[in-house]
Amino acid sequence: MARQYFGTDGIRGRVNTSPMTAETALRLSIAAARTFAPEGGREVVIGRDTRRSGDMIEAALVAGFTSMGITPVLLGVVPTPAVALMARETGAALGVMVSASHNKFEDNGLKLFSPEGIKFDDDTEEALEMAMGTALKGEYAAPAEITLPRTMAGTSNRYVRRCLDTLAGGQDFSKLKVVLDCAHGAGFETGPAALTELGAQLTVIGAAPDGININAGFGSTATGALKAAVLETGAHIGIALDGDADRLIVIDETGTEADGDQVMGLIAGEMHRTGRLKGGGMVATVMSNMGLSEYLKTEGLTLARTKVGDRYVGEHMRAHGFNLGGEQSGHIILSDVSTTGDGLLAGLQILSVLAARGGKASDMLRVFTPAPQELINIRYSGANPLESDRVKTALAEAEGLLGDRGRMVVRKSGTEPLIRVMAEALDEDLMLKALHHAANAVTAAAGNS
């Protein structure tokens, strides 16, 4: 069925524009209550990031859940993985995170978690889509069964403690100079609290949210400020979270960025050497670099690939017994601890390795030499350019150029009106030739110059 609300990662869009309206949040909460707690009498945990519209969306969720006899438990501003944690540790019927992740403040979104702290699969989302369409026409709770929301204090401390408990005792972090960029987002308190407790020499940036500065010049998609701070302070390493703190990007002491592939490669190797890696390898998406796969082969490990979205990574991990997976963008799932991507948790693993080994982050984070890879994002309006016969022909021609010497991934973004065209090959000239052949066709079909 054609989706009206859900994309790659829940519901997301520009606030007060379909699908990201207060009405959508109201419909979702009513539909979810009828689907997951039809008899009422349950609780649902709700967290949000720092963007201004979060209170409005939260209020709509509260109205819907209370009207159905469900008690909203308000966690306040917390990272997305904290919502997943509380969903599974409190016995809630549902967990909801109000966030648009790395998007600017004009956008917002809704991420849903099951009582096990797991993002919903496609079938469940499609069932919710159907229920949302008729949500305002059904029955509601009797007046005496209407609930009141309540606030749960201490969620941030509980989440930080779970993350810190993953580290080996006796490690000395006091010599590590770390810059942490919180993106003016949901991790602005939890990130600094964790690293301060470890005793690291900490510099914090992007930790003064005002409702509109989330992800603005800071965070995992805008690392310029972090790079400058690392060089200025002489830090050993820099870590950037995104708006809801479920992903990270790492900067080494030279100001060079290490993406999620390098971070996952480092963690996989470390877990393998210490006997903690399960499944004989790890899981990543089709966007991860070929170099990661080649590195894992040298370690006797495998790389399983899924379509884009950390929930698909998580589904494959659970189905096939892996405990490490993630995305090139920095969503990393360590499923022995967390059920979803977690920027702070992954960052602590990197700091733990750096503290134990010493040396330079630039050496540690160069786990493999990346195959030449390039991504072009093409914005469009109107019809999906990938439906064009001309584009289909050009994509087939580009894949033919690469043959078995490279890969091409072309997909429609699930969160923005973009077509993402990615190519990689061991031969850079070949990669660029195939990439631009495909991208030019998509650009023309999108009506761009």
Region 28-49: mean pLDDT is 95
Q: Kindly state whether residue 1 falls inside one of the protein's structural domains.
A: no
Residue 245: the pLDDT is 98
Domain boundary residue, one of 312, 342, 365:
365
Last residue of a domain, one of 118, 153, 188: 153
Radius of gyration of the chain (CA): 22
**189 and 327 inside one domain:** yes
Total-model pTM: 0.89
In a domain, 2, yes or no: no
| Tens-place pLDDT, residues 351-384 | 999 999 999 999 999 999 999 999 999 999 888 9
Q: By three-state DSSP, how is residue 174 classified?
A: coil
- Note whether 136 and 175 are same-domain residues: no
- How many residues are present in the chain? 449
Arithmetic mean of pLDDT, 327-333 = 95
**More confident of the two residues 383 and 439:** 439
In a domain, 426, yes or no: yes
Q: How many domains does the chain have?
A: 3
Specify the pLDDT at position 190.
98
Closest CA to 178 of 169, 188, 191: 191
With residue 324 as reference, give the H or E element that holds it: strand 324-326
Within 8 A by CB and 6+ apart from 213, the residues are 105, 184
- Residue 168: DSSP 8-state: P
Task: Assess whether 279 and 184 both reside in one domain.
Answer: yes
User: Residue 6 falls within a domain, yes or no?
Assistant: no
223 pLDDT above the threshold of 60: yes
Q: What is the pLDDT of residue 8?
A: 78
pLDDT of amino acid 448 = 61
| Same domain, yes or no: 138 and 228 | no
Specify whether 257 is located in the same domain as 405.
Answer: no
Q: 382 and 336, same structural domain?
A: no
Which pLDDT does position 130 carry in this prediction?
94
Are residues 416 and 437 located together in one domain of the fold? yes
- Residue 1: pLDDT above 60? no
Same domain, 220 and 257: yes
pLDDT of residue 68 exceeding 80, the answer is yes
- Residues labelled catalytic: 101
Examine the domain organization and report whether 436 and 396 are in the same domain.
yes
Q: 299 has which bridge partners?
A: none
Mean pLDDT of the chain: 95
CA–CA dist 322, 339 (Å, integer): 12
Q: Is residue 384 part of a domain?
A: yes
pLDDT band at 21 (very low <50, low <70, confident <90, very high): very high
345 and 441 share one domain: no
At residue 445, φ and ψ (nearest 5 deg) are -70, -25
Q: Tens digit of pLDDT for each residue in 260-310?
A: 999 999 999 999 999 999 999 999 999 899 999 999 999 999 999 999 889
The residue from 133, 153, 173 where one domain ends is: 153
How confident is the model at residue 414, as a pLDDT? 74
In a domain, 275, yes or no: yes
- 189 shares a domain with 284: yes
What percent of the chain is predicted at pLDDT more than 90? Answer: 90
Residue stretches of the annotated binding site for Mg(2+): 101, 242, 244, 246
Residue percentage of the chain with pLDDT more than 70: 99
Token pair of 356, please? 């134990």
CATH number of the domain enclosing 274 = 3.40.120.10
The domain of 420 spans 373-445
What is the rounded distance in angstroms from the CA atom of residue 198 to the CA atom of residue 95? Answer: 29
For residues 30 and 129, membership in a common domain is answered with yes
- Residues in contact with 251: Cβ distance below 8 Å, sequence separation at least 6, in sequence order: 179, 223, 226, 227, 230, 237, 238, 239, 240, 257, 258
Report the CATH number that the domain containing residue 409 is assigned in CATH: 3.30.310.50
pLDDT reported for residue 382 = 85
